[in-house]
Amino acid sequence: MSVQVENLEKNMAKLTIEASAEDFEKAVQAAYQKNKNKITIPGFRKGKAPRVMIEKMYGAGIFYEDAANALIQSEYPKAADECGLEIVSQPEIDVVQIEKGKPFIFTAEVAVKPEVTLGDYKGVEVEVTKAEVTEEEIAGELKKEQENNSRTIDVDDRAVENGDMITLDFEGFVDGEAFEGGKGTDYPLTIGSNSFIPGFEEQLVGAVIGEEKDVNVTFPEDYHANDLAGKAAVFKCNVKAIKVKELPELDDEFAKDVSEFDTLEEYKKDIAQKLKERKEDVAKREKEDKVVDAIIENAQMDIPEAMIQNQIRQLVDDFVRRLQSQGLSIDQYYQFTGLDNAKIQEQMRPQALKRIQSRLVLEKVAEVENIQVTDEKVDEEIAKMAEMYKMEADKLKELMGDYEKEQMKKDIAVQEAVTLVVDAAKVTEVVEKTEE
């Protein structure tokens, strides 16, 4: 096998890979052995026809496709290693020569890791949100806990009010005729949830248990049922029950019931501390993101399209796996959302580009700063992983190949580069804007 490298524009390269005529012949013979049992020749039992007879009947190239695929799969990885390029995409393969008695020649067009020219990466100026906790946020957390510990009670001495949970019978009519899907019995509905079409829930405010009430609405023009879209309808409704949430009192007893604290004041301090920690984590990620964004802005790099497409494919594959873990196929997702593969890929593009840019500039920082990752640091990381997966560290280390360990070193170096540039940044804290 031999390989020639041609550098193209925009960090692309073309590898011309040549396998000998002898290797091509071996691949064709292997293809014959693989496929002979599937081919019938008059006068021969199935699988017993000589290769020459099959080629005479079906053409000399009958086994060429399988032979070519086998050679490409075996020779391309060797050529990729031999050429010395840092390839960052899947190859685009093109067969140049495939002929009996001649070398098999094909090309592989690949994206090459772009060179990064760093601008200022130390002392970049960024603004981040100050991790402050307000009384309103503490009150909101307390309200959530009250809701979690609430009980529902029946109300029968008043009409329906906003926020009530009601049990409802209803039937819908258009032009005096009942329509399919417009009837419900003992339907649970929270007034103000906006789970019905606009105007429906508001008209039930003031309704009394046991009395029929007409609700007049108009279906939206974009309603999913075309035969109802834009049409006026009357729903004959009967409220059968009204329930309300009864919230526990915010006092020391409440704190004892829902937490490890004896007083409400202690519980509120704990809530404030946890909120602050969450906000500090968010602020830390925000600071890292903004610092890296600033370094990207100051840097120069020419990212090949093939590299971006490769990253997009990885993101889409990850997304599909997450859907599958939730019991949903990508086709079902497309059906529910109205999206398709092209739209998903377009949505993923900014994220893919940002991932590539971030990785490239941080790897360059690690290189310029001569960040070295010791075997001890790798061992520490493996120990953390082992603890996460409930495995023995030595066992996990055994299972990892040299490539995985080398990749881990690169990942650690990148993270240390993040720490370096963030520590060196000039950060201004700004107060979080609240909606009025």
Residue 435 lies in a domain: no
Distance of alpha carbon 108 from alpha carbon 71, whole angstroms: 13
Q: Please spell the DSSP secondary structure of 253-304, one letter per residue.
A: HHHHHHSS-SSHHHHHHHHHHHHHHHHHHHHHHHHHHHHHHHHHHH-B----
Distance of alpha carbon 261 from alpha carbon 272, whole angstroms: 14
For 380, the token pair is 């520490």
| pLDDT, tens digit, 9 for 90 and up, residues 253-289 | 999 999 999 999 999 999 999 999 999 999 999 999 9
Determine the pLDDT at residue 375: 87
Q: How far is CA 285 from the centre of its chain?
A: 18
Q: What phi, psi does 54 have (nearest 5°)? A: -65, -45
Determine the pLDDT at residue 48: 86
What is the tally of structural domains in the chain? Answer: 3
Q: Please spell the DSSP secondary structure of 154-208, one letter per residue.
A: EE-SS---TT-EEEEEEEEEETTEEEEEEEEEEEEEETTS--SSTTHHHHHTT--
Residue 122 lies in a domain: no
Residue 218 lies in a domain: yes
Distance of alpha carbon 313 from alpha carbon 341, whole angstroms: 10
Distance of alpha carbon 379 from alpha carbon 384, whole angstroms: 9
Task: Read off the CATH number of the domain in which 155 is found.
Answer: 3.10.50.40
- CB count within 10 Å of CB 59 equals 10
For 212, the token pair is 């029929």
Residue 210 lies in a domain: yes
CA proximity to 213, closest of 238, 234, 186, 188? 238
Shared-domain flag, residues 231 and 269: no
pLDDT in tens, the chain (436 residues): 899 999 999 899 999 999 999 999 999 999 999 998 888 888 888 888 899 998 998 998 999 999 999 999 999 999 999 998 999 999 999 999 999 999 999 999 999 999 999 999 999 999 998 889 999 999 999 999 998 999 999 999 999 999 999 999 999 999 999 998 889 999 999 999 988 888 999 999 999 999 899 999 999 888 878 888 899 999 999 999 999 988 999 999 999 999 999 999 999 999 999 999 999 999 999 999 999 999 999 999 999 999 999 999 999 999 999 999 999 899 888 888 888 899 999 999 999 999 999 999 999 999 999 999 988 998 899 999 888 888 888 888 888 888 888 889 999 999 999 999 999 999 898 877 655 4
Which of 189, 223, 246 lies at the terminal end of a domain, its last residue? Answer: 246
Stated as kind and residue range, the H or E segment containing 232 is: strand 232-246
Shared-domain flag, residues 265 and 401: yes
Shared-domain flag, residues 288 and 339: yes
Distance of alpha carbon 204 from alpha carbon 161, whole angstroms: 8
Which amino acid type is present at position 117?
T
Task: Read off the CATH number of the domain in which 103 is found.
Answer: 3.30.70.1050
Residue 352 lies in a domain: yes
Shared-domain flag, residues 212 and 266: no
- CB count within 10 Å of CB 162 equals 11
Coil/strand/helix, residue 216: strand
Name residues whose C-beta falls within 8 Å of residue 142's C-beta, 6 or more positions apart in sequence: 250, 268, 271
Q: Count Cα neighbours of 318 within 13 Å in the Cβ-side half-sphere.
A: 10
Task: Read off the CATH number of the domain in which 383 is found.
Answer: 1.10.3120.10
Residue 199 lies in a domain: yes
Name residues whose C-beta falls within 8 Å of residue 39's C-beta, 6 or more positions apart in sequence: 46, 47, 49, 54, 58
Find out whether 106 and 14 touch, Cβ atoms under 8 Å.
no
Shared-domain flag, residues 15 and 94: yes
Find the domain containing 361 and state its range.
258-430
Shared-domain flag, residues 385 and 312: yes
Shared-domain flag, residues 177 and 203: yes
Determine the pLDDT at residue 436: 44
Distance of alpha carbon 170 from alpha carbon 179, whole angstroms: 12
CA proximity to 62, closest of 97, 43, 34? 34
Which of 85, 111, 137 lies at the terminal end of a domain, its last residue? Answer: 111
CA distances (Å), 128 to each of 276, 283, 287, 289, 427, in order? 15, 7, 6, 10, 7
Q: Which residue's entry shows tokens 């390839």?
A: 87
Stated as kind and residue range, the H or E segment containing 19 is: strand 12-19
Determine the pLDDT at residue 434: 54
Residue 125 lies in a domain: no
Determine the pLDDT at residue 433: 62
Shared-domain flag, residues 236 and 353: no
For 9, the token pair is 């524009």
Shared-domain flag, residues 384 and 278: yes
For 278, the token pair is 């969450």
Q: Sort 350 into a burial class: Cβ within 10 Å, 0-12 / 13-18 / 19+.
A: exposed
Which of 213, 246, 279 lies at the terminal end of a domain, its last residue? Answer: 246
Find out whether 145 and 251 touch, Cβ atoms under 8 Å.
no
Q: Please spell the DSSP secondary structure of 90-150, one letter per residue.
A: --EEEEEE--TTS-EEEEEEEEBPPP-B----SS-EEEEE-----HHHHHHHHHHHHHHT-
Shared-domain flag, residues 330 and 229: no
CA proximity to 301, closest of 370, 349, 356, 350? 356
Shared-domain flag, residues 65 and 93: yes
What letter does residue 401 receive in the DSSP assignment? -
Q: Which residue's entry shows tokens 């599909």?
A: 320
Residue 142 lies in a domain: no
Q: Which residue's entry shows tokens 């940044």?
A: 425
| pLDDT, tens digit, 9 for 90 and up, residues 34-63 | 998 888 888 888 888 899 998 998 998 999
CA distances (Å), 257 to each of 80, 248, 249, 252, in order? 65, 10, 11, 9
Shared-domain flag, residues 174 and 287: no
Q: How far is CA 292 from the centre of its chain?
A: 21
